[in-house]
């Protein structure tokens, strides 16, 4: 029996996944979590075979939660199920140790097959994602960029924060609304696990950001 912990901050998504797994006899849902920090605690407590992990979570971003889970319980496989499929997010999840990556909207049978594969230690990626990963690993090595948990857009915004720009100025240089910039800043603080933008700026400058503007 494969034991699965469902992680998503939307109750309807968790309900739908429960229904999917209810159609087979070899997968048991042992719990549901909607918060990143709670996901780590419950994984250690329940010892599931697979954590089916969303990424945009309150408390702790799913990529950071993945990293913490695998540091504390490496026997558990983390299988990402999210709406994001950009390269930065996919590669950040892989670097954090995720064994597989599915995009929301996948067929129920594909999710079931992915959970079974992850439980047996097999990497799980859709054909398109697998091709992108293959190309990425085949490319010449590059100097690893700072803060791999951030998307390219978030890193651009953090770079400008470190350069001393306000949200309004950042929005003007990147052609974004002030609200979009503010939302991204909030996500950056969550991913960096800092409470204020000042602390984020300190980390960014220590990593060499903020010098190009």
Cα–Cα distance, 145 to 155 (Å, whole number): 10
Cα–Cα distance, 188 to 185 (Å, whole number): 5
Cα atoms in the 13 Å half-sphere on the side-chain side of 85: 17
Supply the mean pLDDT for the chain.
88
Cα–Cα distance, 91 to 67 (Å, whole number): 13
Beta strands in the chain (DSSP E): 2-7, 27-33, 50-53, 77-82, 100-103, 124-125
Q: Is the pTM of this model over 0.75?
A: no
Quick check: 127 pLDDT over 60? no
Q: How confident is the model at residue 142 (pLDDT cuts 50, 70, 90)?
A: very low
Cα–Cα distance, 172 to 149 (Å, whole number): 25
Biggest alpha carbon–alpha carbon distance for the chain: 57
Q: Return the structure tokens found at 104.
A: 């929301």
């Amino acid at each position: 029996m494969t034991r699965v912990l469902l992680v998503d901050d939307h109750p309807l998504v968790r309900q739908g996944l429960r229904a999917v797994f209810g159609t087979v006899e070899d997968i048991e849902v042992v719990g549901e979590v909607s918060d990143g920090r709670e996901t780590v605690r419950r994984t250690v407590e329940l010892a599931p075979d697979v954590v089916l992990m969303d990424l945009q979570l309150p408390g702790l971003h799913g990529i950071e939660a993945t990293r913490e889970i695998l540091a504390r319980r490496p026997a558990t496989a983390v299988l990402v199920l999210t709406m994001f499929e950009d390269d930065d997010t996919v590669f950040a999840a892989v670097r954090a140790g995720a064994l597989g990556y599915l995009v929301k909207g996948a067929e129920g049978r594909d999710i079931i097959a992915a959970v079974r594969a992850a439980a047996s230690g097999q990497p799980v990626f859709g054909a398109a994602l697998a091709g992108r990963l293959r190309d990425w690993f085949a490319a010449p090595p590059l100097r690893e960029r700072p803060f791999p948990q951030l998307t390219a857009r978030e890193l651009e915004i953090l770079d400008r924060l470190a350069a001393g720009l306000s949200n309004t100025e950042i929005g003007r240089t990147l052609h974004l609304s002030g609200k979009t910039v503010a939302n991204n800043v909030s996500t950056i603080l969550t991913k960096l696990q800092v409470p204020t933008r000042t602390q984020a700026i300190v980390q960014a400058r220590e990593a060499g950001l903020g010098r190009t503007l």
